[in-house]
């Protein structure tokens, strides 16, 4: 019997690898589920949703990292689809599924996931239609902390063969980040966020550590910070049009702020990655 799933995966790989392939428009085509080439210690390799926009490569790309609740498919639908419509290849990583994790909201990021951004980057840079010098990492909540952690000066970034061009963090936990960033970095957070407080991100952006002590000036790239008045955690998630509580924290969608953050993100990506025509 023909292995339909395997045939579909092979076809997707061939389409993705061909810069001149004719595909559906980015706004209409569904994402392709891809498995990373380097297997984990678990039986399944890391996986994610890949979207490739129209146009010949090499194209700029974006890696998306979900938060502590998982919901990577919803993240792809919210932002992967939008970013592909702007002309960027997107890879939304499923950090939890292959590892049997359902949630990590009562603890920090699972140690096994701290290299996932670079595992995804390694995969993308091997694709002939990707420009390996123009890839950004974008994270949300816990995934935003991982994005920042991945590009601050330290062992993870230093030991990575491939490098990111820029990073974006939506409402990240800013504690524990040293702020010595190796690439241009944008942080977007709500003023009323009671889970990942804006005050901690201000300290980070202004060069103070967790204890209020200033870091040495001129270390790394400056952090661009946008704080949105009246916005809570998960301000970009329509699921929370009716506000909700999770572990005592207020979650609320804000359409105006979502749109403002999309505009800020688009300008930042164009400034750091350029457009697909560059």
Q: Within a domain: residue 202? A: yes
Per residue, the 3-state secondary structure of the chain, as one string, reads: CCCHHHHHHHHHHHHHHCCCCCCCCCCCCCCEEEECCCCCCCCCCCEEEEECCCCCCCEEEEEEECCCCCCHHHHHHHHHHHHHHCCCEEEEEECCHHHCCCCCCCCCCCHHHCCHHHHHHHHHHCCCCEEEEEEEEEEECHHHHHHHHHHECCHHHHHCCCCCCEEEEECCCCCCCCCCECCCEEEEEECCCCCCCHHHHHHHHCCECCCCCECCCCCCECEEEEEECCCCECCCCHHHHCCEEECCEEECCCHHHHHHHHHHHHHHHHHHHCCCCC
**How many structural domains comprise the chain?**
1
Q: Within a domain: residue 2? A: no
Q: Within a domain: residue 7? A: no
Please enumerate, as own/partner, the contacts of 103-106 that have beta carbons within 8 Å and a separation of 24 or more: 103/68, 103/69, 103/70, 104/68, 104/142, 105/68, 105/69, 105/142, 105/246, 105/247, 106/247
pLDDT at residue 277, as a whole number: 52
pLDDT at residue 16, as a whole number: 41
Low-confidence ranges of the chain (pLDDT < 50): 1-24, 278
pLDDT at residue 8, as a whole number: 35
CATH value at residue 47: 3.40.50.1820
Global model pTM greater than 0.85: yes
Q: Within a domain: residue 67? A: yes
pLDDT at residue 207, as a whole number: 87
pLDDT at residue 42, as a whole number: 61
Residue pLDDT, tens place only, 145-187: 999 999 999 999 999 999 999 999 999 999 889 889 999 999 9
The residue range of the domain holding 62 is 25-234+262-273
Q: Within a domain: residue 86? A: yes
pLDDT at residue 246, as a whole number: 94
Q: Within a domain: residue 98? A: yes
pLDDT at residue 169, as a whole number: 98
Dihedral pair phi/psi, residue 77, rounded to 5°: -65, -40
Q: Within a domain: residue 85? A: yes
Q: Within a domain: residue 195? A: yes
pLDDT at residue 26, as a whole number: 57
Longest dimension (CA), the chain: 65
């Amino acid at each position: 019997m023909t292995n339909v799933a395997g045939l579909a995966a092979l076809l997707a790989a061939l389409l993705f690898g061909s810069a001149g392939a004719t595909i559906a428009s980015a706004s209409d085509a569904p994402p392709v589920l891809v498995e990373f080439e380097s297997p984990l210690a678990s039986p399944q390799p890391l996986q994610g949703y890949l979207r490739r926009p129209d146009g010949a490569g090499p194209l700029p790309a974006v890696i998306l990292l979900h938060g502590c609740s998982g919901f990577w498919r919803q993240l792809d639908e919210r932002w992967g689809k939008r970013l592909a419509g702007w002309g960027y290849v997107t890879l939304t990583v499923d950090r939890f599924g292959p590892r049997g994790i359902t949630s990590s909201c009562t603890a920090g990021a699972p140690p096994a996931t701290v290299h996932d951004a670079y595992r995804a980057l390694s995969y993308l840079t091997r694709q002939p239609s990707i420009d390996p010098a123009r890839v950004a990492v974008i994270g949300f909540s816990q995934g935003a902390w991982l994005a920042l952690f991945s590009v601050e000066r330290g062992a993870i970034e230093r030991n990575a063969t491939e490098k990111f061009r820029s990073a974006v963090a939506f409402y990240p936990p800013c504690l524990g980040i040293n702020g010595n960033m190796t690439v241009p970095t944008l942080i977007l957070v709500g003023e009323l966020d009671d889970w990942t407080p804006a005050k901690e991100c201000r300290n980070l952006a202004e060069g103070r550590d967790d204890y209020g002590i200033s870091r040495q000036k001129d270390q790394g790239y400056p952090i661009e910070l946008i704080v949105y008045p009246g916005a809570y955690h998960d301000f970009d998630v329509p699921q929370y049009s009716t506000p909700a509580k999770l572990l005592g924290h207020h979650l609320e969608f804000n359409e105006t702020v979502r749109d403002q953050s999309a505009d800020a993100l688009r300008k930042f990506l164009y400034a750091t990655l350029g457009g697909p025509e560059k």
